[in-house]
Amino acid sequence: MQAADSYFVDFRDVWLAYNDELRAQNHFAVEAIDLQIGRGEFIAIVGPSGCGKSTFMKLATGLKMPSMGKILIDGSPVTGPLKISGMAFQAPSLLPWRTTVDNVLLPLEIVEPHRSQFKAKRKEYEARARALLQKVGLAGYEDKFPWQLSGGMQQRASICRALIHEPKMLLLDEPFGALDAFTREELWCILRDLQAEQKFNVILVTHDLRESVFLADTVYVMSKSPGRFVVKRDIELPRPRDLEITYTKEFTDIVHELRGHIGALRKAGAPIQQ
Ligand SMILES: Nc1ncnc2c1ncn2[C@@H]1O[C@H](COP(=O)(O)OP(=O)(O)OP(=O)(O)O)[C@@H](O)[C@H]1O
Ligand SMILES: [Mg+2]
> Rounded distance, CA 255 to CA 125, Å?
41
- Tell me the chain's radius of gyration from C-alpha atoms: 19
237 contact partners, CB below 8 Å, separation of at least 6: 213, 245, 250, 251, 254
For helices 151-163 and 100-110, the axis angle rounded to 10 degrees is 30
For 183-203, the pLDDT digits (tens) are 899 999 999 999 999 999 999
Average pLDDT (246-273) is 84
Identify the nearest ligand to the CA of 221 by its number: 1
Identify the nearest ligand to the CA of 30 by its number: 1
CATH architecture label of 42-63+83-264: 3-Layer(aba) Sandwich (3.40)
> Rounded distance, CA 273 to CA 270, Å?
9
Q: Kindly report the protein residue whose alpha carbon is nearest to atom 12 of ligand 1.
A: 29
Ligand 1 pocket by C-beta < 6 Å: which residues?
18, 29, 49-55, 227
Q: What is the pTM of this model?
A: 0.92
> Rounded distance, CA 5 to CA 2, Å?
8
The HSE-up count of residue 46 (CA atoms within 13 Å, CB side) is 26
Q: Kindly report the protein residue whose alpha carbon is nearest to atom 1 of ligand 1.
A: 18
Alpha-carbon distance values, 254 to 100, 121, 187, 247, 260 (Å): 38, 47, 21, 12, 10
> Rounded distance, CA 85 to CA 58, Å?
11
Average pLDDT (125-140) is 94
For helices 114-135 and 100-110, the axis angle rounded to 10 degrees is 150
Cα 178 to the center of its chain, rounded Å: 16
Q: Kindly report the protein residue whose alpha carbon is nearest to atom 31 of ligand 1.
A: 50
Q: Return the domain boundaries, the chain.
A: 42-63+83-264
For 213-237, the pLDDT digits (tens) are 999 999 999 998 789 999 999 999 9
pLDDT bracket for residue 274 (50, 70, 90) = very low
